[in-house]
């Protein structure tokens, strides 16, 4: 797994300022899902990148935020990792 995160939060924002704006999700192929989500939140700046393999829902996640708005992009396999057999379950 690779994970990188830089976040700067607005300390004067309301604690309940999260607002879901829009979300799109669709399958690129049979088991690979692409998702993009837009939200309004209390963060002034955010960069987050995550890449996972050999775990549940492997794939990548990218979150970019500026001045209270964020975009979350995800591309992942929706299968579950079986630790005993070291394979994915359908």
pLDDT band at 33 (very low <50, low <70, confident <90, very high): very high
pLDDT at 47: 97
Tens of pLDDT, residue by residue over 2-22, are 999 999 988 888 777 788 899
Tens of pLDDT, residue by residue over 51-80, are 998 888 889 999 999 998 999 999 998 888
pLDDT (average), residues 37-51: 93
Q: How many CA atoms lie within 13 A of 64 on its CB side?
A: 5
pLDDT at 49: 96
pLDDT at 11: 84
pLDDT at 66: 95
pLDDT (average), residues 44-48: 95
Domain ranges of the chain: 2-89
Q: Can you point out the beta strands (E) in 1-90?
A: 2-9, 19-29, 32-40, 43-52, 59-66, 69-77, 80-82, 87-89
């Amino acid at each position: 797994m690779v994970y990188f995160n830089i976040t700067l939060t607005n300390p004067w924002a309301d604690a309940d300022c999260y607002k879901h704006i829009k979300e799109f999700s669709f399958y690129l192929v049979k088991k690979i899902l692409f998702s993009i989500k837009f939200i309004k939140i209390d963060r002034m700046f955010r960069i987050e990148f995550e890449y996972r393999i050999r775990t549940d829902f492997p794939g990548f996640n990218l979150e970019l935020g500026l001045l209270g708005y964020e975009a979350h992009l995800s591309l992942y396999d929706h299968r579950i990792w079986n630790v005993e057999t070291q394979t994915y379950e359908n």
